[in-house]
């Protein structure tokens, strides 16, 4: 169970990106986060693994207090939280397998990883994850030689290497075409349904939300404006989330 | 319409004013740089210029084996009152000179004719004053050139050197034998240019290796997130000097121990083979590759102790290795003949290891203790009640700042020798402690302070200050520190390479994509791992290209660093210029041009391959 309590983030420039946001995510849920551009979705996801320091409020995860964790504790927590990014964030000049193995960095002893040594089991595991996302043959290519869809699969494989209990996906399909988007989303669905990993995924397209999410939270100007079943987003709610002038398409 | 005209007048006036100002500035420049083309036209200047240019066009690279024929002919200047004495008649195959007339007044012309010389040879014909035919002092000089019969004719104006005694005319005709071979100057140039290239190479390698870590702490994006609470900062600042002192004592002791074990070859060999194996296995045990759960405190403590023991053992091994290198190096130097430099290298590496081991070990212990204490400080900040923490912060901040200021005071004492402990000991300590306390009072006890930015700013300032000192100036200091020679030049170039590359590198670190950094951080990687997996792969290409660029600069610089005693070809060049030996200087200039353009070519080829 992930509990977000009165979370507020004010950036250095004074922008209030999150405003007193509270909600809960039960284990094993696929939660979609929606909202306009600039509504604070990325900020919210990054506060959960403290890539961004929240200004106020608490985040509790299975009894552990993430907001007050020390640096060491935070690293132990982070390694259980996989993250997938809109722009994949792979290390371009490294090999695919190295990118995937990087998911183990929180587990391996730092001294060994300094000289690029990973245990044999980890390397086998990395190959297995690549197989799972369907690009086993690309393992020894450079990451920037892959197409966008393939790169995002590497991103997912990297998150899987962490043996995650939760995956934070920040618009994982926003820079992919619709076919690829479904293929990536179904990988996340598979991880969520078969491995029981909690998924928090920010999305721009409501059809994806309807198709994959168990539940939705919606942000507008940093405030939580909706929390519930995707089916319950009617026209009124839609205008509340996306603004009065928004038109529903598709 | 009217309006635009007005503005355009103003505009032209302004342009005119600026043009006038420019002229004035330029005129002043002419005066201060003493522009004087009249001087260029003076005959004296032109003559020397032509001479130097011709010498430069004939680099002293090749020479021939030569045979000389030297023949004297006696004459009186002016003619003695008793009349010209009879010349000894010449015959046979020996070369001889005839003079017509056989005596003459100073300033008159004598016809010198040579017979039986080797055909097609050239050489000077000189007047030798005094009555000693072996005299090497000569006056005047004309060039004779023999025909195919070995005969030449020359009109010589006698110098104004009258004497009652007999004087001489001497012809020295030279002939090249066999093929040309390299001159002494060519050999000297070769050995110095090799020295130059290696000077540049070592400076670049050392500079690069040290600039890389430096560039990370001079990169804003890496240092900005580094924040610690005051207790942690205070303890880690205190950890450095204590750790360095402790480490230095321990490793010096290990060094003495190693020396006592003797430079016995068998002890050396045994420890060199046994210690790495023990260290490796010990390290594997003490640092397991992966631990899903945190082990108990006892296990961790045992491991830490074991690691410490292993490090001491490993350093003993290093000392042993150093002494083995020195023993083997000395043996090889004597035994390898032309490849003796390998022995010399081994010996020097051993020496470097022996000297730097204790220092590096001390630094390592300093770093380890500092980071360990920093963690303790972190824990204390999290666990202690607020009032206790406040008090602890006060004490630690005061102690840490006092330490820093005390060290600065010692530096001032060393540099300026005021000799007054109020300025160099008590003053700094009290100021530091006060500042520390002020810091502790005015910050929140648990607030994470931006130490990263402080370290960043200090490093940047230091780099900028050192970078503005020219390598040539540094070389002057190093010449005093380590003596004239290539070593001083290497140190100076190396230091300059560190500071300038660190700046360039850190700018590259600052411009990397932040996405991968974020992604690696999100996996639970620590800072060092983040640097290795997200930063380094991104900066490899620019680092290589900057290193090449620096290599080019170092090759150029190393050719002139000898001007101030820094070794390399510059020393020879300067010497030859001062001796007015322009043909020698020309050989060195040629060598510099060849090497610089060759290195340019090689580095641009490499750059293309690598990037
Ligand atoms: N590092 C930052 N410093 C200052 N302001 C920021 C920073 N990052 C984001 N913001 C601001 O915070 C607000 C929320 O940004 P955030 O990136 O969370 O939005 P988002 O919902 O993810 O948008 P998008 O859909 O475009 O990704 C925006 O107004 C943005 O300008
Ligand atoms: Mg976003």
Helix (H, G, I), strand (E, B) or coil at B160: coil
Position A228 in a domain: yes
From chain A, the residues in CB contact with B520 under 8 A are: 91, 102, 105
* C-alpha count within 13 angstroms, C-beta hemisphere, residue B290: 16
The size of the A-B interface in CB pairs under 8 A is 105
B515-559 pLDDT, tens digit per residue, is: 999 999 999 998 889 999 999 999 998 898 899 889 989 999 998
User: Can you give the pTM of this predicted structure?
Assistant: 0.78
User: Is residue A180 exposed (0-12), middle (13-18) or buried (19+ Cβ within 10 Å)?
Assistant: middle
Residue B139 shares a structural domain with residue B165: yes
Position A11 in a domain: yes
Question: Are the C-beta atoms of residues B114 and B146 closer than 8 Å to each other?
Answer: yes
Position A19 in a domain: yes
Residue carrying structure tokens 């602890």: B392
CATH number, residue B544: 1.10.3720.10
CATH number, residue A231: 3.40.50.300
B591-608 pLDDT, tens digit per residue, is: 999 998 998 888 888 878
B52-65 pLDDT, tens digit per residue, is: 888 888 888 888 88
Residue B201 shares a structural domain with residue B94: no
**How much is the average pLDDT of B24-30?**
89
Residue B100 shares a structural domain with residue B49: no
Domains held by chain A: number: 1
Which pLDDT score, from 0 to 100, does residue B3 have?
A: 59
Of A9, A35, A38, A86, best ligand 1 pocket probe by most atoms within 8 Å of the beta carbon? A38
Counting atoms of ligand 1 from 1, which one is nearest the CA of A222?
14
- Give the contacts of A62 (CB within 8 A, at least 6 positions apart): A1, A2, A27, A165
Closest C-alpha among A100, A214, A210 to residue B520: A100
Interatomic CA distance for residues A57 and A55, integer angstroms: 7
Position A222 in a domain: yes
Position A30 in a domain: yes
Of A19, A42, A55, A83, best ligand 1 pocket probe by most atoms within 8 Å of the beta carbon? A42
**How much is the average pLDDT of B309-330?**
84
Counting atoms of ligand 1 from 1, which one is nearest the CA of A86?
27
Q: Answer whether A112 sits within 8 Å of B287, measured CB to CB.
A: yes
- Which tokens is B286 given? 């003490």
Helix (H, G, I), strand (E, B) or coil at B79: coil
B247-278 pLDDT, tens digit per residue, is: 999 888 888 888 887 667 777 778 888 888 88
Helix (H, G, I), strand (E, B) or coil at B512: coil
CATH number, residue B80: 2.60.40
Helix (H, G, I), strand (E, B) or coil at B535: helix
Which pLDDT score, from 0 to 100, does residue B5 have?
A: 66
Residue B121 shares a structural domain with residue B141: yes
Which pLDDT score, from 0 to 100, does residue A71 have?
A: 81
* CB-CB neighbours of B376 under 10 Å: 14
- Using alpha carbons, list the distances in angstroms from residue B561 to B17, B187, B280, B421, B475: 45, 20, 44, 40, 7
- Report the complex ipTM: 0.94
Position B328 in a domain: no
- Using alpha carbons, list the distances in angstroms from residue B167 to B101, B109, B170: 14, 15, 10
Domains held by chain B: number: 3
Return the DSSP state at B93: S
Which pLDDT score, from 0 to 100, does residue B40 have?
A: 79
Q: Answer whether B291 sits within 8 Å of A85, measured CB to CB.
A: no
Residue B601 shares a structural domain with residue B537: yes
Position B606 in a domain: yes
Residue B148 shares a structural domain with residue B199: no
Question: Are the C-beta atoms of residues B71 and B113 closer than 8 Å to each other?
Answer: no
Residue B134 shares a structural domain with residue B92: yes
Would the pLDDT of B280 be above 90? Answer: no
B107-144 pLDDT, tens digit per residue, is: 888 898 888 888 888 888 888 888 887 877 777 778 88
Q: Which domain holds residue A235?
A: 1-80+204-243
Q: Which residue, B118, B153, B182, sits at the end of a domain?
A: B182
Position A57 in a domain: yes
In terms of residues, how long is chain A?
Answer: 250
Q: Answer whether A114 sits within 8 Å of B529, measured CB to CB.
A: yes
Distance from CA of A195 to the nearest CA of B (A): 19
Question: Are the C-beta atoms of residues B471 and B496 closer than 8 Å to each other?
Answer: yes
Position A121 in a domain: no
Q: What are phi and psi of A229, to 5 degrees?
A: -75, 140
For B432-557, strand residue ranges (E) read 448-449
Position A119 in a domain: no
Alpha helix ranges (H) inside B99-176: none
- Using alpha carbons, list the distances in angstroms from residue B271 to B252, B253, B314: 18, 17, 10
- Give the contacts of B84 (CB within 8 A, at least 6 positions apart): B76, B101, B102, B103
Q: Which residues are paired to B153 by β-bridges?
A: B113
Residue B26 shares a structural domain with residue B138: no
Q: Answer whether A91 sits within 8 Å of B528, measured CB to CB.
A: no
Cα B14 to its chain centre, rounded Å, is 50
Q: Which domain holds residue B142?
A: 65-182
CA closest to A53 among chain B residues: B225
Distance from CA of A55 to the nearest CA of B (A): 13
Return the DSSP state at B77: S
**Of the ranges A159-173, B71-85, B594-608, which one carries the lowest mean pLDDT score?**
B71-85
Alpha helix ranges (H) inside B287-385: 297-335, 340-383
Q: Nearest 5°: CA angle at B63, between B60 and B69?
A: 125
SS3 content of chain A, % helix, strand, coil (to 5): 40, 25, 35
In terms of residues, how long is chain B?
Answer: 611
Interatomic CA distance for residues B460 and B466, integer angstroms: 10
A12-62 pLDDT, tens digit per residue, is: 899 999 999 999 999 999 999 999 999 999 999 999 999 999 999 999 999
Would the pLDDT of A247 be above 90? Answer: no
Position B193 in a domain: yes
Residue B35 shares a structural domain with residue B70: no
Interatomic CA distance for residues B570 and B219, integer angstroms: 36
Which pLDDT score, from 0 to 100, does residue B499 have?
A: 94
Residue B210 shares a structural domain with residue B154: no
Residue B458: pLDDT band with limits 50, 70, 90:
very high
Residue B26 shares a structural domain with residue B70: no
Which pLDDT score, from 0 to 100, does residue B400 have?
A: 93
Residue B102 shares a structural domain with residue B175: yes
Interatomic CA distance for residues B496 and B478, integer angstroms: 12
Average pLDDT, chain A: 92
């Amino acid at each position: 169970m992930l509990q977000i309590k009165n979370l507020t983030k004010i950036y250095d420039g004074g922008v209030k990106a999150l405003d007193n946001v509270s909600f809960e995510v039960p284990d094993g849920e696929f939660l979609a986060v929606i909202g306009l551009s600039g509504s604070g979705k990325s900020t919210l996801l990054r506060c959960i693994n403290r890539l961004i320091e929240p200004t106020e409020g608490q985040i509790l995860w299975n009894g552990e207090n993430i907001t007050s964790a020390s640096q060491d504790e935070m690293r132990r927590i982070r390694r259980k939280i996989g993250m997938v990014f809109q722009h994949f964030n792979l290390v371009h000049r490294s090999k695919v397998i190295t990118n995937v193995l990087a998911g183990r960095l929180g587990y391996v002893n730092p001294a060994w990883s300094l000289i690029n040594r990973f245990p044999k089991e980890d390397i086998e595991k990395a190959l297995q994850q690549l197989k799972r996302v369907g690009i086993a043959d690309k393992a020894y290519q450079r990451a920037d030689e892959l197409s966008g869809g393939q790169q995002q699969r590497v991103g997912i494989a990297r998150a899987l290497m962490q043996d995650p209990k939760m995956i934070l996906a920040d618009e994982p399909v926003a820079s992919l075409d619709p076919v690829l988007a479904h293929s990536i989303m179904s990988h996340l669905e598979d991880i969520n349904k078969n491995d029981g990993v909690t998924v928090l995924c920010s999305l721009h397209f409501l059809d994806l939300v309807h198709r994959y999410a168990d539940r939705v939270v919606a942000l507008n100007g940093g405030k939580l404006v909706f929390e519930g079943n995707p089916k319950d987003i009617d026209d009124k709610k839609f205008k509340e989330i996306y603004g009065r002038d928004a038109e529903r398409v598709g | 319409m009217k309006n635009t005209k007005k503005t355009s007048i103003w505009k032209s006036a302004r342009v005119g004013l600026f043009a006038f100002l420019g002229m004035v500035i330029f005129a002043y420049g002419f005066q201060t740089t003493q522009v004087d083309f009249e001087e260029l036209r003076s005959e004296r200047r032109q003559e020397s210029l032509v001479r130097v240019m011709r010498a430069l066009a004939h680099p002293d690279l090749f020479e021939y084996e030569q045979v000389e024929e030297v023949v004297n002919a006696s004459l009186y200047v002016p003619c003695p009152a008793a009349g010209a004495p009879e010349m000894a008649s010449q015959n046979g195959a020996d070369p001889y000179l005839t003079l017509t007339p056989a005596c003459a007044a100073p300033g008159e012309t004598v016809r010198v004719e040579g017979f039986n010389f080797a055909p097609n040879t050239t050489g000077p014909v000189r007047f030798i004053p005094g009555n000693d035919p072996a005299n090497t002092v000569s006056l005047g000089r004309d060039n004779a050139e023999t025909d195919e019969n070995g005969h030449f004719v020359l009109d010589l104006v006698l110098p104004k050197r009258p004497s009652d005694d007999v004087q001489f005319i001497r012809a020295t005709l030279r002939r090249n034998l066999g093929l040309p071979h390299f001159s002494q100057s060519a050999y000297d140039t070769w050995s110095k240019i090799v020295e130059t290239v290696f000077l540049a190479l070592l400076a670049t390698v050392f500079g690069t290796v040290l600039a890389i870590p430096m560039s990370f702490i001079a990169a804003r994006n890496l240092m900005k997130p580094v924040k610690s609470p005051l207790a942690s900062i205070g303890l880690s600042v205190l950890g450095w000097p204590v750790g360095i002192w402790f480490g230095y004592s321990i490793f010096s002791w290990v060094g003495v121990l190693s020396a006592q074990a003797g430079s016995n070859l068998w002890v050396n060999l045994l420890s060199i083979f046994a210690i790495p194996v023990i260290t490796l296995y010990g390290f594997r045990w003490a640092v397991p590759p992966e631990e899903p759960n945190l082990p108990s405190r006892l296990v961790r403590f045992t491991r830490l102790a074991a690691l410490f023991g292993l490090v001491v053992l490993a350093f003993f091994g290093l000392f042993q290795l150093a002494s083995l290198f020195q023993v083997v190096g000395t043996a090889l130097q004597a035994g390898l003949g032309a490849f003796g430099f390998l022995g010399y290298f081994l010996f020097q590496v051993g020496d470097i290891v022996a000297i730097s081991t204790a220092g590096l070990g001390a630094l390592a212990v300093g770093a380890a203790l500092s980071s360990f204490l920093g963690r303790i400080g972190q824990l204390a900040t999290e666990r202690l009640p607020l009032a206790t923490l406040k008090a602890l912060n006060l004490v630690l901040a005061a102690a840490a700042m006092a330490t820093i200021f005390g060290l600065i005071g010692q530096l001032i004492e060393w540099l300026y020798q005021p000799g007054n402990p109020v300025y160099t000991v008590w003053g700094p300590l009290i100021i530091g402690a006060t500042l520390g306390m002020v810091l502790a009072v005015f910050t929140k006890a648990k607030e994470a302070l931006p130490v990263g930015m402080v370290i960043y700013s200090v490093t940047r300032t230091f780099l900028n200050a050192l970078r503005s000192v020219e390598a040539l100036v540094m070389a002057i200091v190093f010449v005093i520190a380590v003596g004239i020679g290539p070593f001083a030049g290497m140190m100076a170039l190396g230091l300059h390479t560190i500071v300038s590359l660190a700046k360039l590198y850190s700018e590259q670190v600052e411009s990397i994509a932040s996405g991968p950094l974020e992604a690696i951080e999100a996996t639970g990687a620590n800072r060092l791992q983040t640097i290795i997996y997200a930063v380094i792969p991104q900066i490899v290409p620019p680092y290589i290209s900057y290193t090449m660029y620096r290599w080019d600069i170092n090759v150029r610089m190393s050719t002139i660093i000898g001007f101030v005693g820094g070794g390399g070809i510059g020393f020879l060049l300067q010497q030859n210029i001062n001796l007015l030996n322009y043909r020698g200087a020309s050989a060195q200039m040629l060598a510099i041009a060849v090497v610089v353009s060759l290195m340019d070519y090689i580095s641009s080829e490499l750059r293309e391959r690598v990037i």
